[in-house]
Amino acid sequence: MRMERNNSLDTLKALSIAFVLIWHLRPFQFILNGSTHITVFVLAKILRDLELQLSLTAVPIFYIVSLYLFFQKSDGVEYFQKRITKLIKIYLFWVLVQNIFFMIVTREIPNFSWQLITGLEPSLPLVGDSVFYFLFNLICLTSVAFLYQLIKSDSLRKIISFTIGIFCLFYFEASCLLNISIPYHWLINFVIYVPIAFYLAKFPDRILSFKFYYLIAFIMFSSHDIYLRTSGYYPSIYGRIAIICGAMTIFCYVNSQKEIKNNLLIQQLSKYSLGLFSLHKYWQYLFFLLINNYKIGMDIGIIGTPLSTIFIIEGLFVVFFTVLSIYLLKLTRLKQFVI
């Protein structure tokens, strides 16, 4: 049973890091212009909607898996201290790397700000914000999970869980309908995953039995999001009911599989998901720097298709050199920061 459970979680982590890379690299992009056939526009729209509705479940799934494991393994203060210390060490290391890389490429010292503390900044030219807000939020969520677990009264825990759930669902939906975008790095986007992970860990059969209904809800609210975007609204990145339902759907369907066999690719993606997540944007920056330096056009299509060649090459370039970096770091004492 332990191996089956681990294989399921490995699959979830592998899916999540694949979604992250697809979201950030967007390797399949169509060249659109005035002469583009309507079919290509439709395909481009479908692809973009899949990215917005499916790929963005990556971070919530990562949080659910991490919190799920915490609730399964936690046996008191000692485990919490060990886990939170490890997370803080990883966070501080990668924030330091981000700041050093920023100073090297921009020759500037980043301004001290709250965004710097939370890991959102400094932002790199060409590729945007830092991804390490994820680690800061994971530290916060793990701390909340520890406090949540200390609640002895089941009734009180249910009341708190219900309150968190209703508030988040109402807040997310109201924000969508009022066309108010919730910043994607805000912790409020992810607090709901604490009670979700708790009940998945403690009452798995009961929660997994509703997986079909999570799927139906995901389809319905995804259609809702797509309609809003078509109408000129800009729903939040993570603060959407569809994202919650999507993350729960994927987690429940994968975790309920009892015959997931060992797969080397999945195991490696899962094992090195931290390294892939942390390093890929540096190679993405270097790729775009090369493109800009040699003034290579972005609208070069693959022969006979409207797919952009440059973004496919970007994806291959970034993945190859990220994997190579992980392999080299694995040979050093820094391997703890990529595994």
Q: Name residue 105's amino acid.
A: V
N-term to C-term CA, the chain: 24
Task: Answer whether residue 3 shows pLDDT above 90.
Answer: no
Q: pTM score > 0.75 for this model?
A: yes
DSSP 103-163: HHHH-SPPPP-HHHHTT--SPBTTTBS-STHHHHHHHHHHHHHHHHHT---HHHHHHHHHH
Q: Model confidence over 118-137: pLDDT tens digits? A: 999 999 999 999 999 999 99
Residues in Cβ contact with 136 at an 8 Å cutoff, skipping those fewer than 6 apart: 91, 117, 118, 119
pLDDT digits (tens, 9 = 90+) for 44-76: 999 999 999 999 999 999 999 999 999 999 888
Q: Is the pLDDT of residue 148 over 70?
A: yes
> How many C-beta atoms lie closer than 10 Å to residue 164's C-beta?
18
What's 300's DSSP letter? P
| CA 294 to each of CA 233, 287, 291, 314: distance values in angstroms, whole numbers, following the listed order | 37, 11, 5, 15
Go through the chain and tell me how many residues it has. 339
